[in-house]
Structure 1
Amino acid sequence: MRTEAQLFAGVTVFFAVTATGYGWASEDPAGTAVLVVAFLMAALVTFFLTVQYRRRGPRAQDRKDAEVADTAGPLDFFPADSAWPITVAGGACVMALGVVFGVWLLLMGLGVLGLGVFGMVFEHAGRHSPPGSPADGDVDEAR
């Protein structure tokens, strides 16, 4: 993730310089605000990738002496089919209709949407990651 962090650091610097120059040269507060927000979002991604690199160490893709076999192994958990996304979409549709037809329908849609989000969040709550997977938090000791 070191390379990705460096790339996003470049994007962060670009938006910082652009926002400063644009804010100084123009008197457009909306454009300046948009560039500042873009700078902050790029800085957030840069910070996240830097922390992940320091926490997990170099990946096989970050090393020049790495082999293809170094990236082999279990990837992570991939969930099966789920009905919760359809529940969330239905709740959002009923909420949108509630804006048109009345608060009572909006509240019903909010309930269905809340149920769907709750179901999606806690569907796999008791699941454990396979040992050695990236979600497990273990870093390969053989590196």
Structure 2
Amino acid sequence: MRAEGYLFAGVAAFFGVTGAMYGWLAAEPAGTVALTVSFLMSGLVALFCWTQHTKRGDRLQDRTDIPIADGAGPLDFFAPHSLFPVLCALGAALFGLGVVFGLWLVLIGFGVLIPAAVGFVFQYGQRRP
């Protein structure tokens, strides 16, 4: 994950410098906000990749001194079936439609999205690796 961390750190640096220059020269708030949000999102991905690298070390794909056969077998645990992704998508769609059509739909979307996201995150919280 080290290479991915450096890649997204470079993307974050690009958006940070571009956003600062754009905000200073253009004085237009929408583009400045979009570049700032892009900087924050790519910085978050870079931070995630870097913490995963420091926590787990080099992956098999990152090392050149091992044979390909050492990477065979199951990679990780993947959920076999779950309704939580569908509920998250439904809540996000209702939330987005609520921005267009009214506060009542935003509240319904928020009411569907939050429990679905919590369930999605914690559905296998008790599972041991």
| TM-score normalised over the length of structure 1 | 0.62
Aligned to 2:51: 51
Amino acid paired to 1:63: R
What is the aligned partner in structure 2 of residue 14 from structure 1? 14
Whichever residue aligns with residue 50 of structure 1, its letter is W
**Whose Rg is larger?**
1
Q: Give the equivalent residue in structure 1 for 2:5.
A: 5
Aligned to 2:38: 38
Q: What stretches of structure 1 of length at least 5 have no aligned partner?
A: 96-105, 130-143
List alignment gaps of at least 5 residues for structure 2.
Answer: 96-105
Match of 1:24 in 2: 24
CA–CA distance in 1 between the matches of 2:94 and 2:19?
Answer: 41
Change (3 A) 1:38 1:72: same
Question: Within 2, Cα distance between the matches of 1:108 and 1:37?
Answer: 26
Q: TM (normalized to structure 2)?
A: 0.67
Count residues with an aligned counterpart. Answer: 124
1:84 Cα shift? 5.3
Percent of aligned pairs with the same amino acid: 49
Distance in 2 between the 1:31 and 1:110 partners?
A: 27
The root-mean-square deviation of aligned C-alpha atoms, in Å, is 3.6
User: Which letter does structure 1 place at the counterpart of 2:59?
Assistant: R
Q: Distance in 1 between matches of 2:25 and 2:56?
A: 43
Q: In structure 2, do the counterparts of structure 1 residues 3 and 23 end up closer, same or farther at CA, with 3 Å as the change threshold? A: same
Q: How much has 1:47 moved relative to structure 2?
A: 1.1
Report if the CA contact (8 A) 1:87-1:116 is conserved.
yes
**Aligned ranges for residues 121-136 of structure 1 at < 5 Å?**
123-129=123-129
More moved, 58-67 vs 46-55: 58-67
Q: Which has the higher helix share?
A: 2
Residue by residue over 1:24-56, the C-alpha shift from the partner in whole angstroms, topping out at 9 and shown as x without a partner, is 220101110110111011111111111111111
Distance 1:80 1:29 in 2: 44
AA aligned opposite 1:68:
I
Q: Which residue of 2 aligns with 1:139?
A: none
Secondary structure of the corresponding residue to residue 12 of structure 1: helix
**Structure 1 residues 17 and 87: alpha-carbon distance in aligned structure 2, compared to 1, 3 A threshold:** closer
